[in-house]
Structure 1
Amino acid sequence: MDVPTVGVEEEYLLVDRGTRAPVNRGRQVIATAARELGELVQSEFYDAQVEVCTRPTADFADLRGQLSLLRETTTRAARASGCLLVASGVPVIAPLEPLTVTDDERYLRMARRSAHLIDGFTAVCGCHIHVGTLDRPRALALASHMRPWLPVLQSLTGNSPLMGGRDTGHDSWRSVVFSCWPTVGPPPVVDEAHYLAHVDGLVAAGVLLDRRMLYWYARPSEHVPTLEIRVSDVNADLDTVILTAALVRGLAAVLLRDVDAGVPPPKAPPYRLWGAHALAAQSGLDGPGADPCTGRRLPAELLVERLMDRAAPGLAAAGDLDMARTLWDGLRRRGTGASRQRAVLARTGSLTAVVDRLAVAPVDVPLPC
């Protein structure tokens, strides 16, 4: 079995060390971090955000090492600008100043064209997993086969229950906020010709600026030869990131055999896919999930076990099966990022304490009894 490469992109918030509220200091932080990281650290839509990108690798020890270095270097750069680097899907504490759009020609065009969306919109931070190397036809075919599994991956990674000081009632409020943008949602089953006609038609109609503005939950990347999985909140817990990437890569290895054998993708009606994603965003691992193929509601943890079983041959082929099982057992014990945010708030009554626990390099502060 071929073992795909994997890469990770993480988006972070910059918050002031005093107020713990988002601040527009991305330009300074990126300039400092880029002295060591070069193009691996980049701007995001808002000045209060920073993105880091690993290089593709087939080895998860290397992936963990890359992410650790990216986080450490960017954290130092943030500290030099009086910031904490925070891994949360949305801001826990509301901004005390307006969030400014990054001074980038493409982002500014997006903001002008979508001003009705920007008004009241907040920064959202995700974690994107790339698997490759895949040309566009193969990436689209793999996306069609992965569609039913994407809500399960989403349920593992919810890390945005609190926004602006209130509990949203969702594990991943980022998913809800981001869904206001055009094309956010499950990928359709399309071949390359239909993909090009569909996306280029949206660009010609002015719905999208370009193909890079396509926000399907699984999409062929337009700048590297990969399939990009876009369902996860960013997580401070590195084990959660590694587990998600391992499951994506293991599942991709298994499903690519079906793609190459000409096996049709599973039938999952769009309304069931949307419903499964809505449940994953709301309940994470703590409530029911849904099988998009049958419509049955099942415990979310059972759906993860099914995903683990389906991905097991691919995980084993890469030597990752024991690691993935260990990380999954650990996540079940600790809870998702969302459940840990709520636990800190219940224990301390402090939003500041929640933000500190979400810092990529956690802040060591004494907690009230």
Structure 2
Amino acid sequence: MTAVEPYTRAGHLPETEPQAGPGPVPTGVATGEILVPTIGVEEEFLLVDSRSRAPVARAAQVIETAERVLGDQVQAEFYRAQVEVCTRPTASCGDLRGQLAGLRAMAGRAAREADCLLVASGTAVVPPQQPLPVTDTSRYRRMAALCGALVDGSAGVTCGCHVHIGTADRAEALLLANHLRPWLPTLQALMTNSPFSCGRDTGYASWRSVQFGRWPTAEPPPLLDLAGYEESAETLVTSGILLDRRMIYWFARPSEHVPTLEVRVADVAADLDTTLLYAALVRGLAATLLAEARRPGARPPDVPVTRLHAAHWHAARYGTAGPFLDPLTGRHVPVHELMNALLERATPGLRAAGDLELVRRLFARRCRLGSGADHQRAVYRRRGGLRDVVDNLAEVTAAA
């Protein structure tokens, strides 16, 4: 593998605009016909009180401690009970896992110093004892004012995992998004980890998907070329629907800051190897699809947006445990068929990256253990309390 220069962060745009970098950022490694992209991951975590297990607004203290070691790889999120950690871009899944483990360890240590626990769950299992405040930045205050009751400080507190795939430019990011659309529901189902929210079982595998879906543009990406993207983004902002382009929350969106495509369908996973599996699958699938999309005459599947919405609903409702809608055919199929199809589709890119055996092993493990949502419910059945679910999530989060 060739050396990879980092972006400012893994494709994330901080609250203040970064200074211009020293030059172009490498976006991948050429392997035969397939360009293996670089990869970066962002993970959002909840901070919960060590005694009540309820979310607490201690992010400022935790970040102040953690950033002495992590610098700008630890960041504030929308609510003061959340922190985000971000890897540097890399070409290696081994390096990615090491980065994620180190980031979690340091953030968890800083949380313990603030008398709280770092918890990877898409939603808060135990309700906050009072509405959580929004992080005090001008942009977040304006977003809260724009979105009104969506910002409730309780059930709307959600944590996701975002994967950034290096691309040559925004046009290529859009090309990749167009070809990736039909596979996003299956990736979402793989990562469901939010069945409980604020003290109750929601009946969903990913309640985060439902709650975050209330935000404008939190939906499947439209089929767009570069001109179409510019027109759509401009309209969304000038119409007042969005504050700025950074509020475009499509499930796969081009970064406004660095040459990446950001995939945004996943709940944050407590189990680190689940995050690694997801990131490697996204990268392998992206490498495969980009190689095909660059061929003369290649066209993306024109899947009806209503069918995509239906497939994402099935992913949120059932995860890996129930019926599933195949976005490409519109047929209801067993979810394991689409999971296996996803792995097969990603195989050329995984092989080119040297990740195929790793992903097969992690995929088999995931199928054996079930989803994060399955695990949360199993802990609740076995131990009988939501505080026990939070404790287990904290233990698994720290186990990296």
TM-score by length of structure 2 reads: 0.89
Q: Distance in 2 between matches of 1:361 and 1:73?
A: 15
Aligned residue in 2 for 1:340:
375
Give 2:110's aligned amino acid.
A
Aligned residue in 1 for 2:89:
56
Aligned residue in 2 for 1:367:
none
Alpha carbons 2:179, 2:300 under 8 Å: kept: yes
Aligned residue in 1 for 2:103:
70
Aligned residue in 1 for 2:38:
5
Indicate whether 1:31 and 2:61 are aligned: no
Tell me the CA shift for residue 318 of structure 1. Answer: 0.8
Alpha carbons 2:123, 2:155 under 8 Å: kept: no
Tell me the CA shift for residue 331 of structure 1. Answer: 0.5
Aligned residue in 1 for 2:324:
289
Alpha carbons 2:46, 2:81 under 8 Å: kept: yes
SS of equivalent residue, structure 2 residue 130: coil
Cα distance change on mapping 1:121 and 1:92 into 2, 3 Å: closer
Q: Distance in 2 between matches of 1:62 and 1:79?
A: 26
Q: Distance in 1 between matches of 2:156 and 2:36?
A: 38
Tell me the CA shift for residue 281 of structure 1. Answer: 0.5
Q: Distance in 1 between matches of 2:69 and 2:373?
A: 32
RMSD: 1.2
Give 1:323's aligned amino acid.
L
Q: Distance in 1 between matches of 2:243 and 2:278?
A: 30
Which of 325, 333, 350 is equivalent to 2:385?
350
SS of equivalent residue, structure 1 residue 127: strand
Aligned residue in 2 for 1:208:
242
Indicate whether 1:182 and 2:223 are aligned: no
Tell me the CA shift for residue 358 of structure 1. Answer: 1.0
Aligned residue in 2 for 1:193:
227
Q: Tell me the matched-pair count.
A: 364
Alpha carbons 1:75, 1:360 under 8 Å: kept: no
Which of 170, 181, 185 is equivalent to 2:204?
170
SS of equivalent residue, structure 2 residue 262: strand
Indicate whether 1:236 and 2:259 are aligned: no
The answer for unaligned runs of 5 or more in structure 2 is: 1-33
Tell me the CA shift for residue 267 of structure 1. Answer: 2.0
Q: Distance in 2 between matches of 1:130 and 1:208?
A: 22
Q: Distance in 2 between matches of 1:55 and 1:317?
A: 21
Give 1:206's aligned amino acid.
G
Aligned residue in 1 for 2:335:
300
Q: Distance in 2 between matches of 1:122 and 1:116?
A: 10
Aligned residue in 2 for 1:85:
118
Aligned residue in 1 for 2:303:
268
Aligned residue in 1 for 2:132:
99
Aligned residue in 2 for 1:46:
79
Q: Distance in 2 between matches of 1:363 and 1:353?
A: 15
Q: Distance in 2 between matches of 1:127 and 1:360?
A: 19
Give 1:292's aligned amino acid.
P
Alpha carbons 1:155, 1:285 under 8 Å: kept: yes
Instruction: Give deviations 1:137-165, integer Å, cap 9, x for gaps.
Output: 00001000000000000010000000111
Tell me the CA shift for residue 324 of structure 1. Answer: 0.5
Cα distance change on mapping 1:75 and 1:363 into 2, 3 Å: closer
Aligned residue in 2 for 1:280:
315
Tell me the CA shift for residue 129 of structure 1. Answer: 0.5
Instruction: Give deviations 1:309-357, integer Å, cap 9, x for gaps.
Output: 1110100011111110100110111110000000000001011110011
Give 1:255's aligned amino acid.
L
Aligned residue in 2 for 1:22:
55
SS of equivalent residue, structure 1 residue 261: coil
Cα distance change on mapping 1:346 and 1:360 into 2, 3 Å: closer
TM-score by length of structure 1 reads: 0.97
Indicate whether 1:224 and 2:258 are aligned: yes
Tell me the CA shift for residue 361 of structure 1. Answer: 5.5
Aligned residue in 1 for 2:394:
359
Q: Distance in 2 between matches of 1:253 and 1:13?
A: 32
Instruction: Give deviations 1:95-128, integer Å, cap 9, x for gaps.
Output: 0022000011111110111113213652100000
Q: Quick one: percent identity of the two aligned structures?
A: 58
Q: Distance in 2 between matches of 1:360 and 1:194?
A: 46
Alpha carbons 2:104, 2:398 under 8 Å: kept: no
SS of equivalent residue, structure 2 residue 45: strand
| Displacement over 4 Å in runs of 4+ | 360-364
Instruction: Give deviations 1:153-181, integer Å, cap 9, x for gaps.
Output: 00100000001111101000000001110
SS of equivalent residue, structure 2 residue 193: coil
Alpha carbons 1:13, 1:87 under 8 Å: kept: yes
SS of equivalent residue, structure 1 residue 114: helix
The answer for unaligned runs of 5 or more in structure 1 is: 365-369
Alpha carbons 1:154, 1:281 under 8 Å: kept: yes
Alpha carbons 2:155, 2:197 under 8 Å: kept: no
Q: Distance in 2 between matches of 1:361 and 1:279?
A: 27
Give 2:365's aligned amino acid.
G
Aligned residue in 2 for 1:249:
283
Q: Distance in 2 between matches of 1:346 and 1:37?
A: 38
